[in-house]
Amino acid sequence: MTAPITPTAPAPAPTPTTARTPAQADAPAGRDPGRALHAPVITWFDEHARDLPWRRPEAGPWGVMVSEFMLQQTPVNRVLPVYEQWLARWPRPADLAKEPPGEAVRAWGRLGYPRRALRLHGAAVAITERHGGDVPTDHAQLLALPGIGEYTAAAVASFAYGQRHAVLDTNVRRVLARAVTGLQYPPNATTAAERKLARALLPEDERTASRWAAASMELGALICTAKNESCHRCPIAAQCAWQLAGKPRHDGPPRRGQTYAGTDRQVRGRLLAVLREAVGPVPQTVLDRVWDEPVQRARALDGLVSDGLVEPLPGGLYRLPLT
């Protein structure tokens, strides 16, 4: 099912490396430097890709968009049940748009980072009002939707519509860092050099480019993982710059770790859990039982109100937002 890879793409601008990488060295002068990577990674993907609901044709562009919102910083196994329930309840953007935003927060459950639910609701409203209820195909129109950033716009355009865009999530960035630049990990934040490299490595053919985007992401999720990578099963291990260099250890800035216990995030999650389960407004006294430390509890609640996730009412009552 893989489209043929175009072998005569014009050479991109040089990437910010001091020497030609193994992938570049294998490519003839004047040809695509990623050519040696595309075929083996896409072939591996065709054989080993997970059967995920948002990859099925029936998911449609809206299903792809919902999955992209949910999968940000959240593992697949936690997303799957919420995704299925969400699409069963709101199979089209207009179905979600006519509900209060608080219902999106309620249905989000414990996926974490619940502002994503509000942003997805806002995107559904905009799609309904501006695009007749259909997720737009144009990348610029996707990027103009509320809550849609560079990554999500590229991912939806690529995965839903088969367009040619550099889709740079954490997994793809790690694959490119290792296979092409010879580094164990990418920088903490996406850099202009990474974007330039990702664009340079894109296949010229649109369908092949969209398959490459999905395949390189899956490779990072299943094989080229952050820890305990399975290089012996990697389809490009023989040409991976990091592997060929002896897998040198990361010597850049410390990698950011995620903490949860005892943080404001944990308090916010507990407060939201009470509000999600309530059938009506919740008194302040009930929320006070969520966390013993009053200053942190108040700060977390104020943050939820400020973010639009919680609506304060007269008489010391709180609820999920209706508007």
**Cα Rg, the chain, nearest whole Å:** 22
Half-sphere CA count of 236, side-chain side, radius 13 A: 31
Structural contact between residues 251 and 192, judged by C-beta atoms closer than 8 angstroms: no
Q: Which helix (H) or strand (E) holds 283?
A: strand 282-283
Q: Which helix (H) or strand (E) holds 317?
A: strand 317-319
* Lookup result for tokens 């092409």: 180
Distance CA 268, CA 260 (A): 11
Q: Is 120 exposed, middle or buried (CB count within 10 Å of its CB: 0-12, 13-18, 19+)? A: buried
Q: Determine which one of 68, 103, 218, 229 is catalytic.
A: 68
Distance CA 240, CA 236 (A): 6
Q: How far is CA 97 from CA 72, 120, 124, 275, in A?
A: 21, 9, 5, 21
* Spatial CB neighbours of 251, under 8 Å, sequence gap ≥ 6: none
Q: 146, 141, 140: which is closest to 126 by C-alpha?
A: 146
Structural contact between residues 32 and 204, judged by C-beta atoms closer than 8 angstroms: yes
Distance CA 17, CA 246 (A): 18
* Spatial CB neighbours of 76, under 8 Å, sequence gap ≥ 6: 50, 52, 221
103 has catalytic annotation: no
Residues labelled as active-site residues: 68
